[in-house]
Amino acid sequence: MCIVDSNPTCTINGAQAPAPVKAPGGPHRRSSLQTMSLAGLDTTELLGDIETKVEKHFPGALPSQGILDKVSVTIEARGLTPENTLYAQSVCPDEINHEPGDITNLFTEYLGEVFHLGGLGGIPFTGKTGFGAYSHHVPEGGHCFILLAPHIGLDSGCNFGMYDREGQASAGAACGAAIGALGYCKACKPLPDLTTAQDDYQMSYIIHKVHQCKHEILAETTDNAVQARLAHHMHKVATEMLDKIVSLDFGGPESTLTILTGVQINMPEPMEDYFQPLEFYVKEKNGGDTVDLFEQTFGTRSDHQKNNNTWTTYKDDDGTVFVEC
């Protein structure tokens, strides 16, 4: 398991602390940030460290409420409302992705109801059947809105891939499925047989997909960069499946399918979780166009956001297919 940069010291940017979203409850491990905050100590320097790390590895990431504020302006201008739009999300079932103030809960509260498409790692494992069921629950002549977001934890020591969970004495892995798959591949264990993995198919699938890109992931020079690369690879895996399962076979002639994808960043308490948007677009039934909504909503893409879903495949000497991502 990766532990991350040995020296987490970052440039202090003096950023204002996002609003707390969860009050501490019961005996559990508190992050350094939470301990300082509860003690009334100045957290400016530590906040600067954390936010600098986020911007370095996830450029363009914003607090969850900021994402909702921007997205709501765009979709409301296109006629989407809670009354005519059904929301779905493909997000890892980890409990830290569904806390008050998280992007998942904010969009559910904003649009009213939620259909769950996702499994481990935020991959839409419900498949075509799941999307078909969801899309046929849409109001007459209405619209679909999907949020897809694999996640990554960040503890107050600036360690990506780690998270301070309630009731545990030390930080644990997040996303556990992605990190576990990378560890499995790093150990050079034989790939699981997907035809006989019915009792753990999702994890077996993730191992196969991480194996395709393990060389590029592990080639990163710091553990934080490895974890960020892994999260972005999981985003590619999830969006690749989403592209295969969605259709416009629902609603009326003016119905649309709007999709927002990115990486959910589980921030140390009491900070609000962040979200790095990577794709935002709408598919229209009338005319069959796909309209990119990203830059009108979030501004100019960073180089990373432009290149996020670039895939190059090649074969190793033994014929194994790998992906340069």
For residue 195, tell me if it sits in a domain.
no
Model confidence over 13-34: pLDDT tens digits? 333 334 334 433 333 445 556 6
Distance CA 207, CA 192 (A): 8
Q: Domain limits at 109?
A: 44-174+239-315
Mean pLDDT, the chain, rounded, equals 84
Mean pLDDT confidence for 157-181: 89
More confident residue, 204 or 3: 204
For residue 2, tell me if it sits in a domain.
no
Mean pLDDT confidence for 90-117: 95
Name the region of 168 (left: φ>0; alpha: ψ -120 to 50; beta: rest): beta
Model confidence over 55-79: pLDDT tens digits? 999 999 999 999 999 999 999 999 9
Mean pLDDT confidence for 119-134: 97
Model confidence over 280-314: pLDDT tens digits? 999 998 777 899 999 999 999 888 777 765 544 43
Quote the pLDDT of residue 42: 65
For residue 90, tell me if it sits in a domain.
yes
The upper half-sphere exposure of residue 125, i.e. CA atoms within 13 Å in the direction of its Cβ, equals 17
Mean pLDDT confidence for 123-149: 97
Please state, in angstroms and as integers, the Cα–Cα distance from residue 113 to each residue in 13, 104, 237, 275, following that order.
Answer: 38, 11, 26, 21
For residue 56, tell me if it sits in a domain.
yes
Task: Return the percentage of the chain with pLDDT > 90, whole number.
Answer: 68
Name the region of 54 (left: φ>0; alpha: ψ -120 to 50; beta: rest): alpha
Distance CA 73, CA 69 (A): 7
Quote the pLDDT of residue 33: 60
Query: How many structural domains does the chain have?
Result: 1
SS3 of residue 114 by DSSP: strand
Which residues, in sequence order, are CB contacts of 141 under 8 Å at separation 6+? 84, 251, 252, 254, 255
For residue 216, tell me if it sits in a domain.
no
For residue 180, tell me if it sits in a domain.
no
For residue 57, tell me if it sits in a domain.
yes
Residue 322 pLDDT greater than 50, yes or no: no
Distance CA 319, CA 129 (A): 33
The runs of H, that is alpha helices, within the chain are 32-38, 44-57, 64-77, 103-111, 127-135, 176-186, 201-212, 214-218, 223-245, 294-298, 303-307
Residue written as token pair 């363009």: 60
Asked whether the beta carbons of 263 and 43 are under 8 A apart, the reply is no
Quote the pLDDT of residue 45: 79
Task: Return the percentage of the chain with pLDDT > 70, whole number.
Answer: 81
For residue 246, tell me if it sits in a domain.
yes
More confident residue, 193 or 5: 193
